[in-house]
Structure 1
Amino acid sequence: MEIDKNQLLRFTTAGSVDDGKSTLIGRLLYDSKSIFEDQIAAVETTSKRKGHEGIDLALFTDGLRDEREQGITIDVAYRYFTTPKRKFIIADTPGHIQYTRNMVTGASTANAALILVDARHGVIEQTKRHAFIASLLQIPHIVVCINKMDLVDYSEEIFQRIMHDFEGFSSKLYVKDIQFLPISALHGDNVVNRSTNMDWYQGAPLLYTLETMHIGSDINKIDARFPVQTVLRPQRDEFIDYRGYAGRVASGIFRPGDDIVVMPSGFASKIKSIDTMTGTISEAFAPMSVAITLEDDIDISRGDMIVKTNNQPKAVQEFDAMLCWLHNTAAKSRAKYSIRHTSNDQKAMITNVVYKIDINTYAREEDNKELEMNSIARVTLRTTRPIMADEYRENRATGSFILIDNTTHETVAAGMIV
Structure 2
Amino acid sequence: MNSNSQQPTANANSYLDMELLRFTTAGSVDDGKSTLIGRLLFDSKSIFEDQMEQVKQSSERKGLEATDLALLTDGLKDEREQGITIDVAYRYFATPKRKFIIADTPGHIQYTRNMVTGASTANVALILIDARNGVVDQTCRHSIIASLLQIPHVVVCINKMDLVDYDKATYDRIVSEYEKFAAKLDVKDVRFIPISALKGDNVVNRSEHMPWFEGSTLLYTLENIHIGSDYNHIDCRFPVQTVIRPKSDKFHDYRGYAGRIAGGVFKPGDEVTVLPSGFSSKIKSIDTFNGEIDEAFAPMSVTITLEDDIDIGRGDMIVRTNNQPEPKQDIEVMMCWLNQKGPMPRTKYTLRHTSADMKAMIKEVRYKLDINTLHRNEEDKEIKMNDICRVQLRTTKPVLADSYRKNRQTGSLILVDEATNETVAAGMII
**TM-score of the aligned structures, taking structure 1 as reference length:** 0.88
Cα 1:257/1:130, change in 2 over 3 Å: same
Matched, 1:287 2:282: no
Question: What's 1:129 paired with?
Answer: 141
Matched, 1:296 2:274: no
Which of 185, 188, 193 is 2:200 aligned to?
A: 188
Question: What's 1:403 paired with?
Answer: 415
Equivalent-residue separation in structure 2 for 1:370 and 1:125 (angstroms): 24
Letter in 2 for 1:16: S
Equivalent-residue separation in structure 2 for 1:140 and 1:248 (angstroms): 21
* TM alignment of 1:235-254, pairs within 5 A: 235-236=247-248, 241-254=253-266
Q: CA deviation at 1:18?
A: 2.0
Matched, 1:109 2:121: yes
Cα 1:122/1:327, change in 2 over 3 Å: farther
Letter in 1 for 2:26: A
Question: What's 1:336 paired with?
Answer: 348
Higher mean displacement: 17-26 or 320-329: 320-329
Matched, 1:377 2:375: no
Equivalent-residue separation in structure 2 for 1:285 and 1:211 (angstroms): 21
Q: CA deviation at 1:153?
A: 5.2
Which of 142, 149, 153 is 1:141 aligned to?
A: 153
Question: What's 1:96 paired with?
Answer: 108
Question: What's 1:9 paired with?
Answer: 21
Q: CA deviation at 1:296?
A: 3.2
Contact 2:152-2:230 within 8 A present in 1 as well: no
Q: Secondary structure at the match of 1:217?
A: helix
Question: What's 1:351 paired with?
Answer: 363
Higher mean displacement: 129-138 or 231-240: 231-240
Equivalent-residue separation in structure 2 for 1:208 and 1:279 (angstroms): 34
Matched, 1:63 2:69: no
Equivalent-residue separation in structure 2 for 1:200 and 1:257 (angstroms): 55
Higher mean displacement: 192-201 or 134-143: 192-201
Matched, 1:75 2:56: no
- 1:275-305: per-residue Cα shift (whole Å, max 9, x none)? 4456555444333333333333333222111
Matched, 1:316 2:317: no
Question: What's 1:174 paired with?
Answer: 186
Question: What's 1:390 paired with?
Answer: 402
Cα 1:201/1:237, change in 2 over 3 Å: closer
Contact 1:22-1:57 within 8 A present in 2 as well: yes
Question: What's 2:37 paired with?
Answer: 25
Letter in 1 for 2:369: I
Letter in 1 for 2:112: T
Matched, 1:367 2:379: yes
Q: Secondary structure at the match of 1:73?
A: coil
- 1:373-416: per-residue Cα shift (whole Å, max 9, x none)? 22222222111101111122222211111111222211122212
Letter in 1 for 2:414: I
Letter in 2 for 1:323: M
Q: CA deviation at 1:341?
A: 0.5
Q: Kindly report the root-mean-square deviation, in angstroms, between the aligned alpha carbons of the 2 structures.
A: 2.9
Higher mean displacement: 380-389 or 89-98: 89-98
Matched, 1:52 2:64: yes
Cα 1:332/1:169, change in 2 over 3 Å: farther
* TM alignment of 1:208-227, pairs within 5 A: 208-227=220-239
Unaligned runs of 5+ in 1: none
Q: CA deviation at 1:13?
A: 0.6
Letter in 1 for 2:179: E
Equivalent-residue separation in structure 2 for 1:87 and 1:279 (angstroms): 23
Equivalent-residue separation in structure 1 for 2:280 and 2:219 (angstroms): 50
Equivalent-residue separation in structure 2 for 1:186 and 1:291 (angstroms): 46
Equivalent-residue separation in structure 2 for 1:197 and 1:257 (angstroms): 58
Equivalent-residue separation in structure 2 for 1:107 and 1:376 (angstroms): 15
Higher mean displacement: 56-65 or 131-140: 56-65
Cα 1:120/1:385, change in 2 over 3 Å: same
Q: Secondary structure at the match of 1:146?
A: strand
Aligned pairs, number: 415
Cα 1:200/1:271, change in 2 over 3 Å: closer
Unaligned runs of 5+ in 2: 1-16
Cα 1:294/1:142, change in 2 over 3 Å: closer
Q: Secondary structure at the match of 2:86?
A: coil
Letter in 2 for 1:396: R
Letter in 2 for 1:227: P
Equivalent-residue separation in structure 2 for 1:62 and 1:292 (angstroms): 42
**TM-score of the aligned structures, taking structure 2 as reference length:** 0.85
Cα 1:259/1:25, change in 2 over 3 Å: same
- 1:209-235: per-residue Cα shift (whole Å, max 9, x none)? 434434333222222222122334445
